[in-house]
C-alpha cells in the first residue's frame, strides 16, 4: 500500500510539473507536442553581428513537426577597426598547425559562390587554397559586401535592420528601408581640354557623405585625388597602381589598364573628395562619373509662432525653415529650393490664449541713470529726435565739460579739463535699419473638408531683426483670411423611401402588379 501511495504521489508530482511546463509554453505551442523554448545562448560574437540560439524538446514519443532550434542575431554593433576581419581571424588560427608537414600563414578566401560558409584559406605567397573547416563560426559574413551571415554552415538572410530573415534593404542613400528621398543621383561627363599652361584640371567635386561613387577615365591621362576633412585637413593622393586603398577612412578600389582607369568608392565618403586629372599626353581624355549625393539642406518645421492675441482667443501657425544638416544651422530658403526632391511642409493651425482678457495696469519703464564721477566729465544733452523713424536719419546733441562738487552741485568748466578723455560726438546717424514690413506666412488648411470654408494665415509686421513689431502701414497689410473651396462634394442625405413608395405612386404600382398576367411567350 505504501508503494501504491508513493506511486500516486509521484504521479501527481509529475502531472503538476507537466502542467506547469505546459503553462510556460508560448501561445502558439500550447496545443502542440513541443515543450517551451529554452533561454537564449551566449552570442557567438561580441561585435560585428553574431548569432544566438534557443532549444526546445519534443514531449511526444512520436516525431514532432517543426524545428527544435531557433536563431536570432546579436551583438549588432560595429567592431573597432583593429579587430580585423572575422573570417581572417579563423584562418590565422591555423597558422600554428602544420598542414602536410609544413607551417603556413593562412589568408581568407571570401565570396565563394559554391559554399560561402566553409572556411577556405590560401597560404600566403602560394596558390595553395585549402578548406580548413567545413563550417565557419556562426556570425561570419557569407560575402564581404553583405550582412547575410553563416549559421550552422548555412547562409542566412539578414536585413539592414540586422534581423535574421528580414528582407529590409538600404536605399541608395544608405537609409535602412528608406525611400531614396535623402539623396540624389549625380551623373556627368568630363572631357579634357589641353592648354600649354595647365598640367591638371578638376573633374568633379564629390561632397562628404556621398555613396556608390564610380569614375571611368578613357585616354592617356591619369586620375588623382584631393581630400578635405570636415576639420579642414587637406591631403593629396596619387593613384599609381591597381589595388585597394584607405583614404581618410574611405575605402577606395582603383584599377589601372593601358587605355583606361576605373575608380570605385562605396562610401559614405568621410571627407570632401575632389577628383582631378593629370595631363600625360597630347590626346584628349574623357571621364564618366556617377554617385549618390546626400541632400544636406532639408526643410524643418518650426515651432508655433506667437499667438495673434494675448487673451480672449487667437490663433497661431507653424512655418518651415531650411536647415543645413552638416553645419546644424538654419540657412536661406533658396538652399532647400535647390533640391526638387525637397517638399516644404504645410503650415499647421491651432487656437491659443483662450482665457478672457483681464483689466490691464499698463507697463512700468525703468529709466537708466549715470554713475557718480569725481573727475570733470563730458556731459551731453539728450539726442534730438531722429529725422527719420527708419531707413536712415541723423540726430544731434550739445556737449559740455562739467564738474561736480562735494555737495553734488554741477557747474560748467573749461573744456581742457575734460581733454583726458575723448570728446563725445555731437552728430550721429540713426535708425539706419530697414523700415518694418508686412510678412505673410503660408495659408493654413481649409477649415472644412468639403464645400466652401475659410483658411487663415499669420501676417506679421517684421522689423529689420526679423522680430514681431509695429509700425507697418495698415493700408498695405495683406488680408489674413479668405474663402477656400474643397473640391470634395459634401454629403447630401437621400430620402428614406423611393418616390414610387409614396402615394399616389404606391397605389399605381399595386394596380400594375395585380393586373400583370404571366405569359409563356417571350417578351
CB of 283 closer than 8 Å to CB of 259: no
Report residue 21's pLDDT band, with 50, 70 and 90 as the boundaries. Answer: very low
Q: Which residue has the higher pLDDT, 523 or 458?
A: 458
pLDDT, tens digit (0-9, with 9 covering 90-100), for 463-491: 877 777 778 888 888 988 889 988 888 87
Q: What is the pLDDT of residue 2?
A: 38
Could you tell me which residues are beta bridge partners of residue 286?
191, 218
Give the number of other Cβ atoms within 10 Å of residue 316's Cβ: 19
CA distance 283 to 388: 68
CA distance 260 to 63: 63
Close Cβ partners of 292 (under 8 Å, ≥ 6 residues apart): 172, 173, 183, 184, 185, 186, 210, 211, 212, 267
Q: What is the pLDDT of residue 498?
A: 54
Average pLDDT over residues 178-202: 81
pLDDT, tens digit (0-9, with 9 covering 90-100), for 250-289: 888 888 888 888 999 987 888 888 888 888 777 788 889 9
Question: Is the pLDDT reported for residue 14 higher than 70?
Answer: no
Q: How many residues does the chain have?
A: 523
Question: Is the pLDDT reported for residue 300 higher than 50?
Answer: yes
CB of 148 closer than 8 Å to CB of 142: yes
Q: Specify the residue for cell string 442625405.
A: 493
Report residue 297's pLDDT band, with 50, 70 and 90 as the boundaries. Answer: confident
CA distance 99 to 130: 10
Question: Is the pLDDT reported for residue 359 higher than 70?
Answer: no
Please give the radius of gyration of the chain, using alpha carbons only, rounded to the nearest integer.
Answer: 41
Give SS3 for 415.
Answer: helix
Close Cβ partners of 203 (under 8 Å, ≥ 6 residues apart): 190, 215, 223, 275, 276, 277, 287, 289
Where is 320: in which H helix or E strand?
strand 320-324
CB of 219 closer than 8 Å to CB of 279: no
Q: Which residue has the higher pLDDT, 500 or 459?
A: 459
212 — phi, psi (to 5°)? 50, 50
Average pLDDT over residues 62-88: 85
213 class by beta-carbon count within 10 Å (0-12 exposed, 13-18 middle, 19+ buried): buried
CA distance 379 to 421: 12
Close Cβ partners of 240 (under 8 Å, ≥ 6 residues apart): 256
From first CA to last CA, the distance across the chain in angstroms is 94
Report residue 118's pLDDT band, with 50, 70 and 90 as the boundaries. Answer: very high
Respond yes or no on whether the N-terminal peptide bond of residue 256 is cis (omega within 30° of 0): no
For the chain, what is the largest distance between any 2 Cα atoms, rounded to a whole number of angstroms? 135
Among 276, 260, 283, CA closest to 199:
276
Which three three-digit cell numbers place residue 501?
Answer: 413608395
- Three-point CA angle 157, 161, 163, nearest 5°: 45
Quote the distance between the C-alpha of residue 187 and its chain's center: 23
Among 58, 132, 67, CA closest to 99:
132
Average pLDDT over residues 283-309: 85
142 class by beta-carbon count within 10 Å (0-12 exposed, 13-18 middle, 19+ buried): buried
Question: Is the pLDDT reported for residue 373 higher than 80?
Answer: no
Q: What is the pLDDT of residue 508?
A: 53
Report residue 433's pLDDT band, with 50, 70 and 90 as the boundaries. Answer: confident
Among 22, 115, 34, CA closest to 69:
34
pTM for the model: 0.48
CA distance 64 to 71: 19
Q: What is the pLDDT of residue 363?
A: 32
Question: Is the pLDDT reported for residue 25 higher than 80?
Answer: no
CA distance 421 to 318: 52
Pairing type for strands 183-191 and 286-294 reads antiparallel
Among 282, 288, 263, CA closest to 220:
282
Q: What is the pLDDT of residue 521?
A: 56
CB of 291 closer than 8 Å to CB of 206: yes
**Which of 16-25, 62-71, 356-365 has the largest mean confidence?**
62-71
Q: What is the pLDDT of residue 150?
A: 92
Eight-state DSSP code of residue 436: P
CB of 418 closer than 8 Å to CB of 376: yes
- Three-point CA angle 502, 506, 511, nearest 5°: 170
Amino acid at each position: 500500500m505504501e508503494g501504491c501511495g508513493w506511486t500516486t504521489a509521484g504521479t501527481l508530482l509529475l502531472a503538476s510539473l507537466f502542467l506547469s511546463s505546459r503553462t510556460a509554453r508560448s501561445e502558439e505551442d500550447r496545443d502542440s507536442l513541443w515543450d517551451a523554448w529554452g533561454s537564449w545562448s551566449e552570442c557567438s560574437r561580441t561585435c560585428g553581428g553574431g548569432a544566438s540560439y534557443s532549444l526546445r524538446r519534443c514531449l511526444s514519443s512520436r516525431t514532432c513537426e517543426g524545428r527544435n532550434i531557433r536563431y536570432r542575431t546579436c551583438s549588432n554593433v560595429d567592431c573597432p577597426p583593429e579587430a580585423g576581419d572575422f573570417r581572417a581571424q579563423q584562418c590565422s588560427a591555423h597558422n600554428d598547425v602544420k598542414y602536410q608537414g609544413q607551417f603556413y600563414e593562412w589568408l581568407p578566401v571570401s565570396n565563394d559562390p559554391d559554399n560561402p560558409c566553409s572556411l577556405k584559406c590560401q597560404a600566403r605567397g602560394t596558390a595553395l587554397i585549402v578548406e580548413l573547416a567545413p563550417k565557419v563560426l556562426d556570425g561570419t559574413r557569407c560575402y564581404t559586401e553583405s550582412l547575410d551571415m553563416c549559421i550552422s554552415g548555412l547562409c542566412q538572410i539578414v536585413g539592414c535592420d540586422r534581423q535574421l530573415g528580414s528582407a529590409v534593404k538600404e536605399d541608395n542613400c544608405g537609409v535602412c528601408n528608406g525611400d531614396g528621398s535623402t539623396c540624389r543621383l549625380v551623373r556627368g561627363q568630363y572631357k579634357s581640354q589641353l592648354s600649354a599652361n595647365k598640367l591638371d584640371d578638376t573633374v568633379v567635386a564629390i561632397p562628404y557623405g556621398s555613396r556608390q561613387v564610380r569614375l571611368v577615365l578613357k585616354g592617356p591621362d591619369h586620375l588623382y585625388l584631393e581630400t578635405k576633412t570636415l576639420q579642414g585637413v587637406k591631403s593629396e593622393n596619387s593613384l599609381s597602381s591597381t589595388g585597394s586603398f584607405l583614404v581618410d577612412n574611405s575605402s577606395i578600389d582603383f584599377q589601372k589598364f593601358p587605355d583606361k582607369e576605373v575608380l570605385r568608392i562605396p562610401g559614405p565618403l568621410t571627407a570632401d573628395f575632389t577628383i582631378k586629372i593629370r595631363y600625360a599626353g597630347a590626346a584628349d581624355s574623357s571621364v564618366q562619373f556617377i554617385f549618390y549625393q546626400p541632400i544636406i539642406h532639408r526643410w524643418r518645421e518650426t515651432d508655433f509662432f506667437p499667438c495673434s492675441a494675448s487673451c480672449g482667443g487667437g490663433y497661431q501657425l507653424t512655418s518651415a525653415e531650411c536647415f543645413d544638416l552638416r553645419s546644424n544651422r538654419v540657412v536661406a530658403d533658396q538652399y532647400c529650393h535647390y533640391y526638387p526632391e525637397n517638399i516644404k511642409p504645410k503650415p499647421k493651425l491651432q487656437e491659443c490664449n483662450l482665457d478672457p482678457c483681464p483689466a490691464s495696469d499698463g507697463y512700468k519703464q525703468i529709466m537708466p541713470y549715470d554713475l557718480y564721477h569725481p573727475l570733470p566729465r563730458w556731459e551731453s544733452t539728450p539726442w534730438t529726435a531722429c529725422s527719420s523713424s527708419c531707413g536712415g536719419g541723423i540726430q544731434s546733441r550739445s556737449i559740455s565739460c562739467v564738474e561736480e562738487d562735494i555737495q553734488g552741485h554741477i557747474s560748467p568748466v573749461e573744456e581742457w579739463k575734460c581733454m583726458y578723455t575723448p570728446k563725445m560726438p555731437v552728430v550721429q546717424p540713426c535708425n539706419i535699419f530697414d523700415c518694418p514690413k508686412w510678412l505673410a506666412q503660408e495659408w493654413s488648411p481649409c477649415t472644412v473638408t468639403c464645400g466652401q470654408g475659410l483658411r487663415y494665415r499669420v501676417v506679421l509686421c517684421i522689423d529689420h531683426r526679423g522680430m514681431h513689431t509695429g509700425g507697418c502701414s495698415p493700408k498695405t497689410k495683406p488680408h489674413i483670411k479668405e474663402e477656400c473651396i474643397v473640391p470634395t462634394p459634401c454629403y447630401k442625405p437621400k430620402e428614406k423611401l423611393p418616390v414610387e413608395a409614396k402615394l399616389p405612386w404606391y397605389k399605381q404600382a399595386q394596380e400594375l402588379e395585380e393586373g400583370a398576367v404571366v405569359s409563356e411567350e417571350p417578351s
